[in-house]
Amino acid sequence: MADETAGWQTVQYEGFEIHVSPVAKDPPDPAHAADTAAAPSSRYTYLGYVCHPGANPHLPGHAVTFHADGEESFASLDDALYEAVHVGRSIIDGTHPDLTVLPLVTGGV
């Protein structure tokens, strides 16, 4: 959502969609591509959002966005993806300490 070039994956869960995008934490600098070609990023993070199926996440109140906290990073794309889906599920389940889907449910979106 925040980065239109990110590779988004979708998971269906409890009548919602969890959209997640694992991304390189420190992507290689294109200006130094020759120097970093042999050394891809070894740390990853994620972006994500939860919405109802078919909702437009760009409209206010249609999605709950989330991302990895601060310096949190993961050793692989799979680890970042797993954690992002876990966080999305916690938002839907109501166990996330800060985020909830309640506005999506009560707002009729």
Could you report the per-residue pLDDT of 39-76, keeping only the tens digit for each?
556 799 999 999 999 999 999 999 999 999 888 899 99
Q: How many helices (H) and strands (E) are present in the chain, helices listed first?
A: 3, 4
3 in any annotated domain = no
Adjacency order of strands within the sheet including 44-51: 9-13, 16-24, 44-51, 63-67
Instruction: Please write the tens of the pLDDT for every residue from 80-109.
Output: 999 999 999 999 999 999 999 998 988 755
CA angle 68, 70, 72 (to 5 degrees): 60
| 21: in domain | yes
CB 45 within 8 A of CB 73: yes
Q: Considering the entire predicted model, what is its pTM?
A: 0.80
How far from each other are the two terminal CA atoms of the chain, in whole angstroms?
18
Kindly state whether residue 1 falls inside one of the protein's structural domains.
no
Residue 101 lies in a domain: yes
The answer to the question of residue 36 being in a domain is no
6 within some domain: no
Residue 35: inside a domain:
no
Q: How many domains does the structure of the chain reveal?
A: 1
Residue 34, in any domain of the structure: no
CA gap 19, 63 in Å, rounded: 10
> Which range marks the domain in which residue 83 is found?
14-26+43-106
